[in-house]
Amino acid sequence: MKKTSIDLILNEHRAFESVLTALREFVDGIAAGRYTADFGLLAAMIEYVTEVPEQVHHHKEDEYLFARLRLRAPDAGPLIDELMRQHARGPKLTAALERALIHYRNAEKAGLDAFHNKVNEYVDFQWQHILKEERELLPLAQERLLADDWAIIDAAFLTNHNPWRGVEDEYAALFERIVSLAPAPIGLGGSSANQGFRTAD
């Protein structure tokens, strides 16, 4: 079946959500004493949640999906404006997350609470953003946009590379590193079965 921009957007969301879930569960586990901090793994997770939305996802939503929907559904303006503001806020939150990780690595246990709070803030923000897109914006787009609009949007999104792999497999290598480093059941954790991550073609 031919993939459309909706399929690709949802696939990118699922890739992003997988690492968000793993990040939160791992940091919750560190805070609870179930896991030992692995700063290489934490850095890899933060790199992924920074790269995927900012490099392959949000700007195309802004420039194509949101722009076409604004033309066809002027009443959707406040929703689109809110989602675009959230896109603009994302890099600030990831930068704060990176700073909190550096502080945690330097301060060790003394920095864990602050880092844990930043992870929860970031994951909650991104989950709410994805839910708003999928429950409010995408159904409206499917209702209001015309075939010509979807042709333009599909052409833009179909140039996106698999969010599980990237342009030259850079995301694949990063994703595989996360899976291999994360303890079971979040990732492989040295086991022979991947219990915590779901991948897509």
In this structure, is the dihedral angle defined by the CA atoms of residues 152, 143, 81 and 159, taken in order, positive or negative? negative
pLDDT at residue 196 greater than cutoff 80: no
Q: What's the confidence (pLDDT) of residue 189? A: 63
Tell which residue, 44, 57, 82, has the closest CA to residue 5.
57
pLDDT digits over 134-153, tens only? Answer: 999 999 999 999 999 999 99
The CATH code that applies to domain 5-181 is 1.20.120.520
Average pLDDT across the chain, whole number: 85
Is 91 in contact with 9 (CB distance < 8 Å)? no
DSSP-derived letter for residue 135 is I
SS3 146: coil
Q: What's the confidence (pLDDT) of residue 171? A: 67
Q: Which of 5-9, 32-36, 110-114, 116-120 has the lowest mean pLDDT?
A: 5-9
What integer is the mean pLDDT of 150-159?
A: 87
Q: What's the confidence (pLDDT) of residue 57? A: 74
Q: What's the confidence (pLDDT) of residue 169? A: 60
pLDDT digits over 161-191, tens only? Answer: 555 555 556 667 777 778 777 888 887 664 3
Rounded Cα distance, 23 and 125, in Å: 14
Higher pLDDT, 15 or 190: 15
- Its pTM stands at 0.84
Q: What's the confidence (pLDDT) of residue 161? A: 59
pLDDT digits over 71-97, tens only? Answer: 999 999 999 999 999 999 999 999 999
Is 69 in contact with 144 (CB distance < 8 Å)? yes
